[in-house]
Amino acid sequence: MSNVPPDLQYTKTHEWVRTLPDGTVEIGITDHAQHALGDLVFVEVPEGGRTVALGEPCAVVESVKAASDVYSPVAGEITLGNPLLAAEPEAVNNDPYGKGWLMRLRPTKGAASAELMAADDYRKLLQAEGG
């Protein structure tokens, strides 16, 4: 069974969102997602300063087998892409909620965000998907 930390919010497309004390958010892919993708060998993260729309593909995670887009669950301005992942893409497999975070962004005030789920609801979604 996948690890679903209770203190994060989740999307239907298997991203997680953590709100940081300064109001920015940290975004990554869930344990379920990293497991489904398999060994990651390349991760492309957005550069700081880029503005992303809700649902815009803004990072790419590539396993040996395939490339997958990661969609921004929030509109805003990227403050930082995780610099570790260029050299250590496997951090997303090994620590998807920690060292394997993909990007941080400052949400646009008043902008819509994706329908974010609490951990319990995300866990139900995974059960419904057979994961």
Partner 1 sequence: MGRRTPLFDLHQQLGARIVDFGGWDMPVQYSSQIGEHHAVRRAAGVFDVSHMCAVDLKGARVRQFLQHLLANDVAKLKIPGKALYSCMLNEAGGVLDDLIVYFLNESWFRLVVNAGTRDKDLAWIRRIGQQFAVEATERVDLAILAVQGPEARAKVAGVMSTTAATAAMGLGPFFGREIDDWFVARTGYTGEDGFEVMLPASAAVRVWRELNAAGVASCGLGARDTLRLEAGMNLYGNDMDESTHPFESGLAWTVAMQPAERRFIGREALEKVLADTAAPHRQLVGLVLEDRGVLRSHQKVLVPEGRAERAAGAGGEITSGTFSPTLERSIAFARIPAGAPQQVQVDIRGKLLNARVVKPPFVRFGKPMI
Residues that bind partner 1 (CB under 8 A): 38-39, 41-42, 44, 60, 62-67, 86
Q: How far apart are CA 50 and CA 65, in angstroms?
A: 28
Kindly tell me which of 65 and 124 has the beta carbon lying closer to partner 1: 65
Least Å distance, CB 94 to partner 1, is 12
In contact, 104 and 24? CB cutoff 8 Å: yes
Handedness of CA 80, 86, 87, 92 (dihedral sign): positive
Q: Quick one: 3 or 42, whose CB is closer to partner 1?
A: 42
Provide the minimum distance between the beta carbon of 102 and partner 1 in the complex, in angstroms, as a whole number: 16
Nearer to partner 1 by C-beta: 25 or 45? 45
User: CA-CA distance, 89 to 15, in Å (whole number)?
Assistant: 16
